[in-house]
Structure 1
Amino acid sequence: MAGAMGHRFAELITQYEVPGAALAYLHDGQVHEFAAGVLNADTGVEATPDSLFQIGSVTKVWTATMLMQHVEAGTFTLDTPVAEVLPEFRVADAEVTKTVTIRHLLSHTSGIDGDLFLDTGRGDDCVERYVEACADLVQNHPLGVTQSYCNSGFTVAGRILEKLDGKVWDAVLRERIIEPLGLTHTCTLPEDVLRHRAAIGHVEGGKVAPVWGLMRSAGPAGLICARPADVVAFGRAHLEGGLLDDPQAMWEPQIDIPNPHTLGKQWGIGWILDEWDGHRVISHGGNTIGQHAMLWVVPSTGTVVAVVANGGHSGAFTHAVATELFAELDGITVPPTLGPPATPVEVDASRYAGVYERAGARMTISEREGGLQLRIEATGPLAELQEPVELGLVPVDATTFVGRRDGDPDWMSAVFYELPDGSPYVHLGARATPKVS
C-alpha cells in the first residue's frame, strides 16, 4: 500500500492542481509519510514529509484539549461561565457576557459573531488585546440555540489558558502538548517556522499568496504549523492517551450541525463528529490563506490520517485522498460530497431570496431559473484578500441547495432553516447567517 499511495498521491495533486501536499497516516501501529509537489511555486522548493504546513483550524482541537486538561484537573467545568475565569470578558450582549460557558465556546454554540479577524500586533499581549475588542461583538444567534463556527470564541478560550497558566498561548501549547508528545516539527510563530522547511499558500491561478499567514491574535483558533506526522501523533494521543485521562469525553455530541453535508453531522468538544459506514469518525479541518489541512481519526480501527495542501482545489483533493485511503486501509466508504440530484427537484425558492449577513461576510441570494443565485462578499480585514464569489444554487430538496464555481470540482451546500423563534437563517460553510433583509 505504501508504495502505491506515494505514486497515487503525486497523481492526485496534479489532478486537483495542488502545488504541494504532504500526508501521514497511522495504521496497524505504523506511521507512513508521503509528500509531493512544491512548497512554493516561485522558488520550486520541494515538499517533503517533514515540511511544515499551516494546519489552520485543526488548531482548535489542540486548544480545546488544553482546556479539557483543566476540566480533568478540577479547575472548572465545561458549564462554568467564561466570566468566572475571565472576569474582564465582555461582548455586546450583557446577558451573554454573564452566561456564556466554556462548553458554548468549544462547541460553537455561543452565537457570538465569530469572524473577527483583528490584528492586535505581534506582542505577547495580542490575545489579551483581542479579547478586549470582543466587547463590541454582537450575537449571530441567541445563546445555545444552533451551531455557527466561531473563531472569536476560540481566541477567548486561548486567553483563558493564558490567564490560568500565566503564559502566552504559544508557551502553554508547548508545555501542555508539544513537549509531552515529543513533537519536533510543530510551531506557531513564523520565526520558529523558519527553522524548518515550510510551505506558503497559493491563491487563484496558482499564484503565491500575498500574505504568509494570519495575524498572531488568531493563534488559539488557527496558527499551528506542523508536519503531518506530528498532527497524527496528536490524533493518536486522543485514541491511546498521553494528553487526557478520558479523551472520549470530547467525542460526546453537543449540537447537531444544521448543514450536515459540509463537515459532519454533529459537533463535540472541539471535534467534528460523523459516521462513515457505521464507524464513528472524529475530525477537524483548517483553512488559512491558500493552505488547507484535514485530520481524521477512526476509533474503531485505530487509523489516524492527516493531509495538508498549499493551494489548488484543496478541499476536493483531501476528500479524494481520504476516499481512496480509507477504502484501502479499513474498507470504509467515505460519503461523497453532496451534489445535485439526478432528477431535478422543483421547490419554491423565492422565500429564500434576500440578504444574509454576519461579521466577515455578506450573502445576497436572488431567484434564478431552476434555483437561486448566490453572491458572497467578504467584509472586514480579509476582504482585500478574497474576491467576491458568485454561483448558482441547485435545489436538492425543499431546504438544501448545492452550487460550485465554473471549473471547480468542489460542491458547496447551503441549508435554509429557522430558529425556534422563527428567524430565517442559511447554514453554509459551517456558519449560521441570519437573513437581514
Structure 2
Amino acid sequence: MRTLPAKFIEHTGGRRVDADMEHWASRLEALADQFEVPGASLAFWRGGEVHACATGVLNTATGAPVHTDSLFQIGSITKVWTATQIMLLAEQGRTTLDTRVVDVLPRFTVKDAQATASITLRHLLTHTAGIDGDLFLDTGRGDDCLARYVEACAGLEQTFPVGDSHSYCNSGFVIAGRVIEQLTGQVWDRALREQICEPLGLTHTFTLPEDVLRFGAAMGHGDDGGPAPAWGLPRSVGPAGLICSTAADVVAFGRAHLTPGALLADPQAMGEPQVDLPNPYAGGQQWGIGWSLDEWDGHVVLSHTGDTIGQHAALWVLPETRTVVAVLINGGHSVAFQHHLVSELMKELHQISVPGPLAPPAHPVDVDVDLFTGVYERAGSQIHVTTHDGQLRLRTEPTGILVGLAQPRTLELTPVDATTFVGRGEEESMWDAVVFENRADGPSYLHYSGRATPKTG
C-alpha cells in the first residue's frame, strides 16, 4: 500500500486553485497502486492553465516523495525536441528536410554506400532511413561523444532500402543531433537549451546528470519493484532519449506545437503525415516529423512515448481541443497505467474515447503459422518465433549493451488476420500487436515495438 499522499497543484499564473485536481490526484494515486507504479507525475493543459499532480516515491530504496517539480527521464520523447531543433534550423534557412546528411557531415557513412549518399534529414526524422536503429554505444562523456558515435555508424547495416519502409531508429536521431552540432557550432545539449528550453522558460529540463542531481530525480525500477541496475543511458545517445524533465515542462513544450511563433513559425508542419506505419496498431497509424500520428474519436493526436531504464513517459497533443497531456512514471505496468489514465482524462475533459489496443478476434482465425517461424535480428535485439501446440510464440532477447538493462519478453501470439497477431506477457493486461511481412522479392520482416526486424534464420 502507498503511504505517501498524492500532491496536487494547478499552475495558474501564481495562484493556487484546487478545482477538480483532488479528483485527479486521487485517481493518479489509485492507478499507481493498481499497476504497481512506484511514482508518477501528471500534467495537462486545459482552459488556459497547466494542472499538475504527483504521487508515490522517486526511489523505493529511499522513500523520497515525488513532487510536481521532480524530474523524470522522458526517454524518446526527446526525439520530438531534436526534430524541433532541426525544424528551427530549416525555418532559419540553415538547412532543409531534404538536405543529405553527407552535405552537412562529409565524414558520415554507413555500411551501404548508396544509403550513405542518399539519407536525408527527413529520413532521419521519420524513421525511414532503413539503418539498424538500436546502436546503444557509449562513446564517453566528452563533448565529442556524438561525433564519435557517428563515426561508429560506419558499420550499420540496412534493414531495408532508404525510404522503403518505417522502422524506429534511435541511431538516426543521434546522427540528427550531430547535424545540429555542426550547424550551430555548439554541443547538442547547449543548442537544446538555447533553441528550446530558454525561449520557453523551462527551468526544470536538463540532459546531464550533474544538472539533474540539483533536483529531486526519479530512479527507474525493474520488474521486481526494486531500483534498476543503472540510472541512465550514455551521453552519446542524448538526442535520441536523454532529456530529464517535469511533466509541466513537457506540457509547455507540447503547447509550443499548438502556437505559431512560440518556437516554430509553422509548428503544424511537423504534424503532416510522412509515412504510413506497417504496424498501425501500436499507438499510431502514420509518422510525421518527430511525431507519431493517430486519431481518437475523429480527433487528430500527435504523440510520443519514451522508455529508459525502468522509466516511462508519454506526451499527447490534441490540436483541435488544444489539449496537452504528459505523464511520467518510474516503473510498474507502464503501458496499462498510461492507457487507463489518459482514457479517463480524455473522457472527462472532452468526451473523447481513447481506442484500446488491438485484441484477439471473437472467432478464431485459421493461419498457417509455420510461415512465420524463424529468427529475426537487428542491433540490440534477437527475436525467436517458434510454434508450440500450433500457436506462435515470440521471445525477444536483448543483445549488446542492452543485456542486463532490457528484459527478455515472451508473447503467446493469437492471429487476428493472415499476417497480424496479438500477444501479451504473463501478468500483463494490455495486448501488443505483431505484424509479419513476407516479401516475395526480398527479406521477410517482423513489425513489432515500432521496429522492422528482418528475418535472418
Same fold, judged at TM 0.5 (above): yes
Q: Is residue 123 from structure 1 mapped to residue 142 from structure 2 by the alignment?
A: yes
Q: Which of 52, 75, 79 is matched with 1:33 structurally?
A: 52
Residue type at the aligned position of 1:223: L
Distance 1:424 1:391 in 2: 20
Residue type at the aligned position of 1:197: G
Q: Which of 369, 375, 379 is matched with 1:359 structurally?
A: 379
Q: Cα distance, 1:386 vs. partner?
A: 2.9
Q: Which of 436, 442, 455 is matched with 1:416 structurally?
A: 436
Q: Cα distance, 1:422 vs. partner?
A: 4.2
Cα pair 1:346 1:370 within 8 Å, conserved: no
Match of 1:206 in 2: 225
Q: Cα distance, 1:413 vs. partner?
A: 1.2
Distance 1:289 1:399 in 2: 32
Larger CA deviation: 390-399 vs 104-113: 390-399
Q: Cα distance, 1:88 vs. partner?
A: 1.2
Q: Share of identical aligned residues, percent?
A: 60
Match of 2:16 in 1: none
Match of 2:307 in 1: 287
Q: Which of 48, 57, 72 is matched with 2:91 structurally?
A: 72
Cα pair 1:292 1:309 within 8 Å, conserved: yes
Distance 1:133 1:223 in 2: 19
Q: Which of 330, 334, 337 is matched with 1:317 structurally?
A: 337
Match of 1:180 in 2: 199
Alignment of 1:199-238 (within 5 A): 199-238=218-257
Distance 1:382 1:333 in 2: 36
Cα pair 2:275 2:286 within 8 Å, conserved: yes
Q: Deviations over 1:2-36 (max 9, x none)?
A: 22111111000000000000000001111100101
Match of 1:253 in 2: 273
Residue type at the aligned position of 1:344: P
Q: Which of 268, 280, 287 is matched with 2:288 structurally?
A: 268
Q: Which of 316, 327, 339 is matched with 2:359 structurally?
A: 339
Q: Deviations over 1:362-403 (max 9, x none)?
A: 111012235301111111111122342222111111111111
Distance 2:256 2:428 in 1: 36
Match of 2:425 in 1: 405
**Helix, strand or coil at the partner of 1:177:** helix
Q: Cα distance, 1:141 vs. partner?
A: 1.1
Alignment of 1:24-103 (within 5 A): 24-103=43-122
**Helix, strand or coil at the partner of 1:187:** coil
Cα pair 2:150 2:174 within 8 Å, conserved: yes
Larger CA deviation: 73-82 vs 187-196: 73-82
Match of 1:12 in 2: 31
Question: Does the C-alpha gap of structure 1 residues 35 and 163 become closer, same or farther in structure 2, counting only changes over 3 Å?
Answer: same
**Helix, strand or coil at the partner of 2:410:** strand
Q: Cα distance, 1:423 vs. partner?
A: 2.6
Q: Cα distance, 1:330 vs. partner?
A: 1.1
Match of 1:350 in 2: 370
Q: Is residue 158 from structure 1 mapped to residue 182 from structure 2 by the alignment?
A: no
Q: Is residue 388 from structure 1 mapped to residue 398 from structure 2 by the alignment?
A: no
Larger CA deviation: 372-381 vs 336-345: 336-345
- What TM-score do the two structures reach when normalised by structure 2? 0.94
Q: Is residue 167 from structure 1 mapped to residue 186 from structure 2 by the alignment?
A: yes
Residue type at the aligned position of 2:363: T
Match of 1:114 in 2: 133
Cα pair 2:131 2:160 within 8 Å, conserved: yes
Q: Deviations over 1:218-271 (max 9, x none)?
A: 100000000000000000000013110000111111111111111200000000
Distance 1:55 1:420 in 2: 40
**Helix, strand or coil at the partner of 1:307:** strand
Q: Deviations over 1:138-191 (max 9, x none)?
A: 101111111000000000000000111111100000000000000011000000
Distance 1:4 1:263 in 2: 27
Residue type at the aligned position of 1:284: H
Cα pair 1:55 1:224 within 8 Å, conserved: yes
Cα pair 1:313 1:410 within 8 Å, conserved: no
**Helix, strand or coil at the partner of 2:397:** strand
Q: Deviations over 1:77-109 (max 9, x none)?
A: 111111001111111011111110000000000
Larger CA deviation: 51-60 vs 344-353: 344-353
Alignment of 1:233-244 (within 5 A): 233-241=252-260, 242-244=262-264
Structure 1 runs of 4+ with >3 Å offset: 418-422
Match of 1:146 in 2: 165
Question: Does the C-alpha gap of structure 1 residues 419 and 49 become closer, same or farther in structure 2, counting only changes over 3 Å?
Answer: farther
Residue type at the aligned position of 1:58: I
Q: Cα distance, 1:419 vs. partner?
A: 4.9
Distance 1:420 1:246 in 2: 41
Structure 1 gaps of 5+ residues are none
Match of 1:136 in 2: 155
Match of 2:396 in 1: 376
Residue type at the aligned position of 1:274: D
Residue type at the aligned position of 2:205: T
**Helix, strand or coil at the partner of 1:385:** coil
Distance 2:449 2:120 in 1: 24
Residue type at the aligned position of 2:360: P
**Helix, strand or coil at the partner of 2:400:** coil
Cα pair 1:370 1:394 within 8 Å, conserved: no
Larger CA deviation: 308-317 vs 407-416: 407-416
Distance 2:410 2:269 in 1: 41
Distance 1:419 1:55 in 2: 36
Larger CA deviation: 316-325 vs 381-390: 381-390
Q: CA RMSD in A?
A: 1.0
Distance 1:252 1:165 in 2: 26
- What TM-score do the two structures reach when normalised by structure 1? 0.98
Residue type at the aligned position of 1:30: E
Residue type at the aligned position of 2:333: H
